[in-house]
């Protein structure tokens, strides 16, 4: 049974907390986490929630209760994770292009460290030798992912250390005694083809032969979720089965039993999220009918930044006749959420909901145009809990220093 919030629930929450509002459904997150756990039950798997997709402290606590670990890309995400109750050994720190001090700060907090360039690897090895195990982020040069902006494993990507630099990595490891406990790859977001992961794994197995102390291989994320009715999702059950076969085979050949780690973000939280906005105005031009809503790319930037599709419904008039609308925001910048969408007739004041708003929604929001960030609400056991207040006017002036 798939978990969903009803239109009535969303309307009542929006009436209570105002619009725009992000609403997350705890039981949906639990459903997705269990789906993953079951799919990889035959592997020795660990899941690290990629918290950059949604970092509200309550979501982190929920993930912790479910038994997830945490993947963090900044030292502040690491600190949020610790504050949410994760043990240091449940946290993986996977930053990119940070300075050595930030890496050291992670080490001093005792979390797993994932190093993604030769310079830091050498500095870390020189300073700490074999006293602190590390993971190395490799770039397997596999082109994958929903679009170029979210692909990270290709030749022009800034992420990871190229597999063609293995000799250099080995030199550093040999001369510093560095303890390499894990190898990591993350080829991008929204990967539909299970074979991309298997291809990556083959590369990782080859690389694994260089590191006798290896304990795990981290395959990153990229699990795709459906955004519209005919959309596909990564077949995690099939992937789980194929991976367990591959790891068993590897064990037979080498006598080594490796853990597999994953870092799902979108997969765990995307579908749990709803973003409810209000239709401010209906504006008929010579070419189209616009619905202007009380939001914009300051609240949900994925449609503009990635050309992402978010399903939109009018929950205030769900039996109204369907009409064709272009949905835009109220920002002084072209902020089109959707062109030519069939939506039940929209009247000024109606609530519209954007689906799949859990991942990279609130998290990428801003105060552009001096507009306020929305509230966040968590629905758990049927109860709607406010987990972030809507910004207030004073928040716009916070940290500003009036010198004139
Ligand atoms: C963003 C990111 C993820 C999560 O990607 P999703 O597509 O949200 O699952 C995982 N690992 C790393 C290193 C990332 O940067």
- Chain segment 25-41, per-residue pLDDT in tens: 999 999 999 999 999 99
Q: Which residues line ligand 1 (CB under 6 A)?
A: 50, 52-53, 71, 73, 94, 186, 189, 220-223, 263-267, 359
Q: What spacing in Å lies between the alpha carbon of 147 and ligand 1's midpoint?
A: 14
Name the closest-CA residue to atom 15, ligand 1.
Answer: 73
Choose which CATH entry (3.10.129.10, 3.20.20.10, 3.40.50.1460, 3.90.1150.10) describes domain 95-262. Answer: 3.20.20.10
In the predicted model, what is the mean pLDDT of residues 94-114?
Answer: 97
pLDDT tens digits, 140-197: 887 665 555 556 666 778 889 999 999 999 999 999 999 999 999 987 767 778 888 8
Which residues are tagged catalytic?
A: 332
Placement of tokens 């049927």 in the chain? 382
- DSSP character at residue 161: E
pLDDT tens digits, 328-363: 999 999 899 999 999 999 999 999 999 999 999 999
Q: What spacing in Å lies between the alpha carbon of 329 and ligand 1's midpoint?
A: 28
d(CA 244, CA 281): 54
Closest ligand 1 atom number to CA of residue 150: 7
- To test the ligand 1 pocket, which listed residue (47, 49, 53, 106) has its Cβ within 8 A of the most ligand atoms? 53
pLDDT, position 192: 73
| Spans of all domains in the chain | 95-262, 270-397
Q: What spacing in Å lies between the alpha carbon of 237 and ligand 1's midpoint?
A: 20
In CATH terms, are 95-262 and 270-397 the same topology? no
Give the helix/strand (H/E) hosting 24.
Answer: strand 21-25
With a pLDDT cut of 70, the percent of the chain lying above it is: 96
Name the closest-CA residue to atom 7, ligand 1.
Answer: 189
The answer to whether 28 and 272 are in contact (CB under 8 A) is: yes
Query: 270-397, what's its fold?
Result: Lyase, Ornithine Decarboxylase; Chain A, domain 1 (2.40.37)
d(CA 153, CA 52): 19
SS3 182: strand
The per-residue b/e assignment along 82-103, b for 16 or more CB within 10 angstroms, e otherwise, is bebebeeebbbbbbeebeeebb
Cβ count near 315 (within 10 Å): 19
Closest ligand 1 atom number to CA of residue 184: 13
Is this model's pTM higher than 0.75 or not?
A: yes
Q: Cβ contacts of residue 133 below 8 Å, gap of 6+?
A: 112, 179, 180, 181, 182, 213, 215
Q: Which residue in 387, 394, 371 sits closest to 23, CA to CA? A: 387
Q: How confident is the model at residue 1 (pLDDT cuts 50, 70, 90)?
A: low
d(CA 404, CA 60): 41
In the predicted model, what is the mean pLDDT of residues 9-15?
Answer: 98
């Amino acid at each position: 049974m798939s978990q969903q919030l009803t239109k009535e629930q969303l309307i009542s929450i929006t009436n209570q907390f105002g619009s725009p509002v992000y609403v997350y459904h705890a039981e949906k997150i639990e459903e997705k986490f269990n789906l993953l756990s079951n799919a990889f039950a035959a592997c020795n798997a660990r899941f690290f929630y990629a918290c950059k997709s949604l970092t509200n402290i309550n979501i982190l606590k929920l993930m912790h209760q479910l038994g997830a670990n945490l993947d963090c890309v900044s030292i502040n995400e690491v600190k949020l994770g610790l504050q949410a109750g994760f043990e240091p050994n449940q946290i993986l720190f996977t930053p990119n292009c940070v300075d050595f001090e930030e890496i050291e700060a992670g080490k001093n907090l005792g979390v797993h460290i994932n190093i993604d360039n030769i310079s830091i690897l050498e500095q870390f090895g020189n300073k700490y030798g074999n006293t602190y195990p590390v993971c190395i982020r490799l770039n397997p040069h596999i082109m994958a992912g929903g679009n170029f902006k979210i692909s990270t494993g290709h030749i022009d990507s800034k992420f990871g250390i190229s597999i063609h630099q293995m000799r250099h990595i080995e030199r550093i490891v040999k001369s510093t005694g560095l303890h390499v406990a894990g190898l990591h790859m993350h080829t991008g977001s929204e990967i539909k083809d299970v074979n991309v992961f298997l291809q990556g794994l083959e590369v990782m197995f080859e690389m694994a032969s260089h590191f006798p102390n290896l304990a795990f291989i981290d395959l990153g994320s990229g699990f795709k979720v459906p955004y519209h009715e005919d959309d596909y999702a990564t077949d995690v059950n099939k992937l789980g089965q194929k991976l367990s076969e591959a790891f068993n085979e590897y064990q037979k050949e080498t006598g080594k039993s490796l853990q597999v780690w994953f870092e799902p973000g979108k997969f765990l939280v995307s579908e749990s999220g709803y973003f409810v906005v209000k239709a401010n105005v209906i504006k008929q031009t010579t070419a189209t009918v616009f619905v202007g809503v009380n939001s914009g790319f300051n609240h949900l930037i994925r449609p503009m930044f990635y050309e992402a599709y978010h399903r939109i419904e009018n929950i205030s008039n769900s039996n109204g006749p369907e009409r064709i609308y272009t949905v835009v925001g109220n920002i002084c910048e072209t902020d089109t959420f959707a062109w030519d969408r069939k939506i039940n007739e929209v009247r000024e004041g109606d609530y519209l909901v954007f689906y799949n708003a859990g991942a990279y929604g609130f998290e990428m929001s801003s105060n552009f145009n001096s507009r306020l960030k929305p509230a966040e609400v968590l629905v758990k056991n049927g109860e709607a809990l406010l987990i972030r207040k809507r910004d207030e006017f004073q928040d716009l002036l916070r940290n500003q220093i009036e010198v004139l």
